[in-house]
Structure 1
Amino acid sequence: MKKNRLLLILGLLLAVTFVLGACGTADEEEDTTGNNGDNTNTEDATDGGEETDFSVAMVTDTGGVDDKSFNQSSWEGLQEFGEEYGLVEMEGYTYAQSESDADYSTNLNRLVQQDYDLIYGIGYLLADAVSTVAEQNPDTNFGIVDSVIDADNVASITFKEHQGSFLVGVAAALKSESGKVGFVGGVDSDLIKKFESGYRAGVKSVDPSIEVSVQYAASFGDAAKGKAIAASMYNSGVDVIYHASGATGNGVFAQAKDIKNNDPDASVWVIGVDRNQYEEGAIGDTNVTLTSMVKRVDVAVKSVSEQAMNGNFPGGEILEFGLADNGISVADTNEEAYTEDIATVVEEWKQKLLDGEVEAPSTEEELEAYLETL
């Protein structure tokens, strides 16, 4: 009887030992995922060796993500960043389009709630909204393009637009046959005045007698208004128009192409802005885009995104991109229109700007002072 009891006790002990051993093995198997049983894969899933849990988004102004200009360039920068680091579009990187000013705060807050690590406001029109939302969400990083916000969780991205505008002004003066050129601005503001001031200075540097017509559309998203302004300018004898008006500029291109369609020998030109707008000027076998003042918003957005992803977000800093660091350039795609002679002279003025021999004006006051020196 005692022998039978002893065998029973030994059997129970062996059973308990087996169960405990099995539990220990299960725990150990969970630990092999690398996070105490958490099955999230933290191994590198990208070609660049970066983790894929970083996310970035942007909010457009009313011009929209396909404005063929400023917003589109920004989105192209995010797309390049997302593709290079293996992020999934609309999850790892995305955009929110604003139909009106009232959408800015709504879109920013929605992206914050979706836990994006870095959120850009594209354009100075979003500055107030970004400032407010950033203050309310100190643990989220933000970027503002074309404005400055004094906050530790906001990186301010600016450009020396007046430098590039000066150079395309030189090109416009050299190309003009009528002695009349034009400038179409979006919203009349300190920012767009940088484009206008630089452009007018460049034109006058080549020939002080050239007339420069200036008109603002009061919108960055009104192509019809842009077309009407361009029609008036071309009808008055202007043969080169530089626009700094976002999607409004699509109307400027449309009008130039309409004129060229009706009269293939007409000498009408458009200077694009923000990105190389050569394709926007295509009409049959010719092209009305003389050149473009290329503002590398795509490069800036990608650069700041990489810094943030790597733990080096430049919060509280003012970043400025210009000719010296290739943040600003002049497109030479249309070789038939933007001739070697024009390119040579533009390059000479570029060197003067880089050497400090000439300083492009960025305000009306600076422009007036500059013109007095000519």
Structure 2
Amino acid sequence: MRRISRITVAGAATASLALALAACGGTSTDSGSESKGDKGLAIAYDVGGKGDQSFNDAAYAGLEQAKKEFGYETADVEPTDGETDADKEQRLSSLAKQGYNPVVGIGYAYASAMKNVAAKYPDTTFGIVDDATIEAKNVADLVFNEQEASYLAGVAAAKSTKTNTVGFVGGVDVPLIHKFQAGYEQGVKDTDPKVKVVSQYLTQTAEEGGFSSPDKGKTAAEGQIEKKADVVYAAAGLSGQGVIEAAAANKVWAIGVDSDQYKQEALAKYKDSILTSATKDVAKAVYSLAKSVEDGKPETGIVRGDLKSGEVGLSDSNPKFADDAELQAAIKSAKEKIISGEIKVKSS
């Protein structure tokens, strides 16, 4: 049963949501139970927004699951180009003021804004996805061991390359993406020291479009392919679509990220070039936070997903990947060693 503090009193507040958020990104809402008068999960997207076929879309899947199960009103809000921390703070404040609970920021970029807003709305549970630890009693830090899934991606790349050269494209040169790179490079080298890894970051800051520019991703991947890379792993949000497009055009393998990109409808024409994806179950993390609030026992503090919990891993939707017995055996062995602690995966 939802807590009394989450019940909205004024119907006018519902009608004003779009106006309240107009200055800080687009929004969509859906009321599954208006007679209850309460509101549930709201998410504020990271750079790239809904439709990235990756990180943000996974969060939306978690929101859809919560909406269906709990029958309440939800909201999902798009970012704006060139926005500041003040814009993010306004967005989160608007959602909390409207009575949404929990309110989740998708991406570490919300850290500063969320810390401020959480202090102003102590009765609202907030969540932030990715490494941005916020020490607050009403905030859940939904983090993942991305380096572990990336290690397995490195094993897959090293076992699949025919040129002994593979690539890594990072969206933005920040600690979070360093985890993907470190795990991937370690997985490659532990599997076959002869394989060379060519790595590149698209931008130094998110504001420069590193997570939202498929053209940048495509250009970077083409450069790596020219250097003989025949497997390219992208941890670049929406920009990763350009990497996948370049891989398909040049008949090499791409490795997707966050979501199972082989299954993404928008990438269907490239799917035969997507070997696998290093996944993290953002949908589960977002849904689980919503459920904890619904159950009256909100998650707070660090909530971590890893290989052991099954919240990071490799997808096996591509039959060529799933049916390769030697490759699958190598991945299984690496996974077991990581879970047991025999393999310590680097995060930087």
TM range (shorter): 0.7 to 0.9
3-state SS of paired residue (1:325)? coil
Are 1:192 and 2:177 counterparts?
yes
Mapped contact 2:40–2:290 kept (Cα < 8 A): no
TM-superposed deviation, 1:54: 4.2
Provide the residue aligned with 1:98 in structure 2: 79
What does 1:21-36 correspond to in 2, within 5 Å? Answer: none
3-state SS of paired residue (2:96)? helix
C-alpha change, 1:294 and 1:52, in structure 2 (3 Å) is farther
Provide the residue aligned with 1:352 in structure 2: 337
Q: Distance in 2 between matches of 1:272 and 1:52?
A: 41
Are 1:278 and 2:271 counterparts?
no
Mapped contact 1:61–1:104 kept (Cα < 8 A): no
3-state SS of paired residue (1:144)? strand
Q: Tell me the amino acid that sits aligned with residue 232 of structure 2.
A: I
Q: Tell me the amino acid that sits aligned with residue 310 of structure 1.
A: D
Q: CA RMSD in A?
A: 2.1
Provide the residue aligned with 2:113 in structure 1: 129
What does 1:43-58 correspond to in 2, within 5 Å? Answer: 53-58=38-43
TM-superposed deviation, 1:201: 0.3
Mapped contact 1:57–1:95 kept (Cα < 8 A): yes
Post-superposition Cα deviations, 1:43-97, rounded to whole Å, max 9, x if no partner, equal xxx99xxx7834110111111011111111011111011112222xxxx111110
Are 1:85 and 2:70 counterparts?
yes
Mapped contact 1:282–1:288 kept (Cα < 8 A): no
Q: Distance in 1 between matches of 2:211 and 2:325?
A: 33
Equivalent of 1:174 in 134, 147, 159: 159
TM-superposed deviation, 1:99: 1.9
Mapped contact 1:187–1:217 kept (Cα < 8 A): yes
Provide the residue aligned with 2:138 in structure 1: 153
Mapped contact 1:61–1:98 kept (Cα < 8 A): yes
3-state SS of paired residue (1:237)? coil
Q: Distance in 2 between matches of 1:279 and 1:251?
A: 17
Identity %: 37
C-alpha change, 1:243 and 1:131, in structure 2 (3 Å) is same
Q: Distance in 2 between matches of 1:214 and 1:105?
A: 34
Q: Tell me the amino acid that sits aligned with residue 249 of structure 1.
A: G
Q: Tell me the amino acid that sits aligned with residue 94 of structure 1.
A: A
What does 1:313-328 correspond to in 2, within 5 Å? Answer: 313-315=298-300, 317-328=301-312
Are 1:207 and 2:207 counterparts?
no
3-state SS of paired residue (2:261)? coil
For structure 1, the residue ranges without an aligned partner over 5 or more in a row are 1-37, 41-45, 260-265, 364-374
For structure 2, the residue ranges without an aligned partner over 5 or more in a row are 1-8, 12-31, 204-209
Mapped contact 1:184–1:226 kept (Cα < 8 A): yes
TM-superposed deviation, 1:125: 1.1
Could you state the TM-score of these two structures normalised by the residue count of structure 2? 0.83
TM-superposed deviation, 1:279: 3.5
Q: Distance in 1 between matches of 2:191 and 2:313?
A: 19
What is the aligned residue count? 305
